[in-house]
Amino acid sequence: MQLDGRVSRDLFTMAGGNAAVAVGADLRREEIDDNAVNADYGAGLNIGGEGTVPHTNASRNVGALFAELSLPVIRNLEITGAARWDHYSDVGSKLSPQIRVRFNPAREWLLRASAGKGFRAPSLWDLNSPPAFGNSANALTDPGCPPQLIADEDARCVDTQLNVRNIASPGLKPETSTQWSAGFVFEPTTTSSFAVDYWNIEKKDTIGSITADAILANPNDLTLYNQFIDRFHRSAIGTTLFVDQPLENLGDLKTAGWDVDARVRFLLTGGRLTLSFQGTYVTKYEQQLGAGFPVASYLGNSFNGGNAYPRWQHVAAIDYERGPWLGTIEQTYTNGWTEAFLAGGTHEIPSTSRINLAATYSGFRHLKLKLGVRNVLDDLPPYTDVSSNGSHAAGWANAVADPRGRFWYTVVTCTF
């Protein structure tokens, strides 16, 4: 159930136009009532990702007040301030302010900047769901197994997906963030534009789990294993029955980088050609694995028990439009990175590039047809030792690559 409303009005006249204000409120009731599909699920005995967790029932009330003030100080300068106050009946309240500035020093130039704070409350699932079993994403070696079983490469100890027990935490604090950005848009002509923006984001009290995969990510360094050894529940002979993975406030996350967006259009005989390019260059990706842990960098490497984040990614495209026809050729690119082998050592993941083609026809009334082919050159994704950056599909990184070879697709769009 949700109820919201807002009102706005002009306040007074400034040199650049009318100052305006908007205020609003949002009230809602959040509830979950999830019933297990059978008795084993209800007892929390399911292993893996299928099925539900045990019966979960919880609710809370959420309210928010927000306001925005627009100030056109002069003809080419506008300042906007906004604030939002959120209250959750189970985790408390938070005020999130924001300020934005837009300045046009000349017709061709737009300078822009913004800064603000953010807030994300833990979900009802994060706070209330009963313990439920699953398994690690990667095939791991359990160093706590009896040495003889490890030497015999026993399947319970070596290259195995360990059972894990996921646990909610009623005492979770909300995530908070501070972010700012600054950049410009340059439009030298009506058919071209170039934009560059720098962004910086810092999160505190990020919500997540220290997983079995992270604890055992580096087989040559058992520091994390020794620190969290009490989370490994063992059988009488010493094999791991399951590993506890409670949700907790892990610590800080800091990331920053540059976004680039360029577009140029050319009028050709009987048609129009558009060149476009969007790219992101990440300059920082640092994270604490847990509260009180040192800050580790995951930019361009996966040495620290986490996923690697490539420095550069882009999409470049050429569109040619003539009458009802539109043809597109697109290139996607992701920079490579250095990965830590699960068995020890490192290797280089090469950069990946894909070519996609598409043709669209919109000459029918209310109907648009599209035929496309992705991965025209039928390239395979580069091999990775980690199971798909946290999924169960080993050998490729699903966050940045696609395991499918060349494939065709069609889209039919009908409007009424």
Domain residue spans in the chain? 2-297
Closest alpha carbon to 290 in 276, 306, 268:
306
| CA 276 to chain CA centroid, nearest Å | 24
Give the span between the Cα atoms of 372 and 315, in whole angstroms.
17
CATH class of 2-297: mainly beta
* Average pLDDT in the chain: 90
Please give the helix or strand (H or E) that residue 125 lies within, else none. Answer: helix 124-128
| CA 226 to chain CA centroid, nearest Å | 30
Give the span between the Cα atoms of 262 and 403, in whole angstroms.
29
Closest alpha carbon to 167 in 229, 242, 79:
242
**Confidence label for 137 from pLDDT (cuts 50, 70 and 90):** confident
Specify the pTM: 0.86
Per-residue pLDDT tens digits for 248-267: 999 899 999 999 999 999 99
398 pLDDT more than 80: no
Give the span between the Cα atoms of 37 and 16, in whole angstroms.
62
